[in-house]
Structure 1
Amino acid sequence: MIKILLVDDHPIVRTGLRALFDNYADIHVVGEVSTGEQAVGFVKDTAVDVVLCDLRLGAGMNGAQTTAAIRKRPKAPQVLILTTFDKDSEILACIEAGACGYLLKDVSAQTIVESLRQAAAGHMVLAPEMTLRVVEGMRRPKVELTARERDVLLQLATGAGNKQIAKALFVSEATVKTHLVHIFDKLQATTRTDAINKAKDHGLL
């Protein structure tokens, strides 16, 4: 019997998944919660084989953070991400946090069931195209920005110009330009739009 915990901030999704798994004698839903914090608390007190977790859970911990917290526990259950989001940086963050797989919600019900069984057996569960993306993401050098560079980048993403950024951060325009030069260099970007897009690819935005 595979004991699973459902983690999703949408009750209708949890209800649908529970109804699906009720059709299989080897799968038993031992609980359902709506937040990462609740999930971490649940596995402390209840035996679970697989946590089926959404990526974005509203306020509080996201799927990757929830995965990391759960996987740090002794005899930790497997964590399988089931979500609608397929951003490379988010997929990679979940895998690096210890998730055994990553599924999109548009897969078939049978795929979810079989993936759950694979996860319970300790196997990785990734579609071939996702596997390639994860490998490429791991090979990609990580970009490290300073706290101030991140502040400038966040302002840049809002469409603010140098003068607006300087005013918002209480620095001179010359300082903003210096930070932008460093940001562009680290991201290997040539324009503001390019910098924003590459920052998103690296999970910086």
Structure 2
Amino acid sequence: MTVRVLLADDQQLVRAGFRLILAAEPDIAVVAEASDGIEAVNAARRVRPDVILMDIRMPRLDGIAATSELTADKTLTTRVVVLTTFDVDSYVYDALRAGASGFLLKSAAPEELVRAIRVVASGEALLDPAVTRRVIEAFSRTRAAPHPSPEFATLTDREREVFTLLARGLSNAELAAQLFVSEATVKTHVARLLTKLGLRDRVQAVVYAHERGIIASHET
């Protein structure tokens, strides 16, 4: 199966560099490019890529607005990885809230870029616990809601336990080991709690947990 990728960045040299890296991978194909958010949205709806590498700061429509528009479109299954120059950036936080499945530094090594695309294409969130939590913590404090949403009350005790561990960045394998259950059982719990809370993936779960005070900064 070939992972179809759209490159969205206003710098042609950056797009060319990414294209060159990805051309060496037999299971990844760049199917379109865009130089701003409007082009990215239009191209995504036209070619329906599996993954978009989305720069945040672009003309006409920035990467955050473009991400929000695309993730709100229920006819698309495209997943977005936002690109940034800094790992602690309010724009990254906003992009994660908008529905991005993760973020990647532009300075990342080629193998990290390739891995990121494969991880997100497989349906997982690109979640580096240390970096992602730092970004979310840095910008969620002033926006945090005082209490969990009503939907949180619908979770079972086990689902709440899974949610708390998931929001701290544990993988399915780590969750299974800690809870003494199979990975298949963990996946079932995760899928159900994300559906109940209306969350897209693990990254959204981390954002939700921090914004609503379910996971306090000192716990992470």
Q: Quick one: which amino acid aligns to residue 12 of structure 1?
A: L
- Aligned equivalents of 1:2, 1:35: Cα separation in 2: 22
- Percent identical among aligned pairs is 35
Question: Match for residue 86 of structure 2?
Answer: 85
- Decide whether the 8 Å contact of 1:55 with 1:85 is kept in 2: no
Matched, 1:109 2:110: yes
The residue number in structure 2 matching 1:191 is: none
Q: Secondary structure at the match of 2:143?
A: coil
For structure 2, the residue ranges without an aligned partner over 5 or more in a row are: 145-220
Contact 2:32–2:47, Cα closer than 8 Å, also in 1: no
The answer to whether the aligner puts 1:118 opposite 2:119 as a matched pair is: yes
Equivalent residues of 1:103, 1:126 under 8 A apart:
no
Which of 127-136 and 61-70 deviates more? 127-136
Deviations 1:21-42 (A, max 9, x none): 0100100000111010001111
Tell me by how many angstroms 1:47 deviates. Answer: 2.2
TM-score by length of 2: 0.61
List, as ranges, runs of 4+ consecutive aligned residues in structure 1 with deviation greater than 3 Å: 85-88
Q: 1-side partners of 2:140 and 2:44: how far apart?
A: 33
Give the counterpart letter for 1:67 in structure 2. T
User: Is the contact between residue 70 and residue 76 of structure 1 (CA under 8 Å) also seen in structure 2?
Assistant: no
TM-score under structure 1 length normalisation? 0.65
User: CA distance change for structure 1 residues 87 and 61 in 2, over 3 Å: closer, same or farther?
Assistant: farther
For the Cα contact (< 8 Å) 2:4–2:50, is it kept in 1? yes
Alignment of 1:184-195 (within 5 A): none
Output the amino acid matched with 1:6: L
| Equivalent position amino acid for 1:44 in 2 | R
2:67 partner amino acid: T
Change (3 A) 1:134 1:22: same
Over the aligned positions, Cα root-mean-square deviation in angstroms equals 1.7
- Separation in structure 2 between the aligned mates of residue 103 and residue 126 of structure 1, nearest angstrom: 10
